[in-house]
Amino acid sequence: MNYGTYLRTVGIDAAILEFLVANEKVQVVNLGCGSDLRMLPLLQMFPHLAYVDIDYNESVELKNSILRESEILRISLGLSKEDTAKSPFLIDQGRYKLAACDLNDITETTRLLDVCTKREIPTIVISECLLCYMHNNESQLLINTIMSKFSHGLWISYDPIGGSQPNDRFGAIMQSNLKESRNLEMPTLMTYNSKEKYASRWSAAPNVIVNDMWEIFNAQIPESERKRLRSLQFLDELEELKVMQTHYILMKAQW
């Protein structure tokens, strides 16, 4: 059990469920979906929900294979073993779509959203560890374009932040480790290195709430649940958990 993964999942799920309960008909656009299977319980729980997973071609090809090869997942989504969807969709099955797209290409992204979403339906946009890997111009254009596309929506974004205190080296160490171990870069990790700076990217939204995951751990997780977590994974140093989780944030922007 990993505290960070737990908090990330619980925090995002809570934000999604709150919006779904408040709106009868909703569409979810999951940007950079990866292997996330969140759509499975949500589609079962909410019969008027439509769900679109979007990611790079290599990522959605792998996801498509897993969903079709697993009997449980295939039956849950009503899929056949054969891939019969037409490009750019790998799955186009009723209320669930899986599509390939380069989110750095705003023309391609807009064209895809024109095909698989409707402007007037309340929309949840999820970007989970996506924007931190994009360059500033592309990520801001993505945010602005999608917000202007839907008349009513909730953007849920989860990302690391570099830290803004003078002696805070978290961001620099993270960048160095990612470069060395996986040859990856986070171009805006230090640009939006605080909660306030990160939230400023959604300045067009009238209602923006941003919390670090340590705040969510203490304010939103009941003591009984925290006790259960401690029984699953012993923490010999609470301060280490605090340092890590204060450098990850969950942002909710509603318009």
- Packing angle, helices 238-245 and 3-22, rounded to 10: 50
212 among the known binding-site residues? no
Nearest CA-CA partner of 251 in 205, 211, 223, 221:
211
Q: Does 17 appear as a known binding residue? A: no
CA distances in angstroms from 77 to 28, 52, 72, 229, listed in the order given = 16, 13, 9, 32
102 marked as part of a ligand binding site: yes
CA distance 223 to 227: 6
**Residue with tokens 């709150």, as numbered in its chain:** 18
The answer to the question of whether 32 is labelled as a binding residue is yes
Is beta strand 123-128 parallel, antiparallel or unpaired with respect to 153-160? parallel
Return all residues near 182 (Cβ < 8 A) that are at least 6 apart.
none
* Residues that constitute the known binding site: 8, 32, 102-103, 128
* Residues that constitute the known binding site for S-adenosyl-L-methionine: 8, 32, 102-103, 128
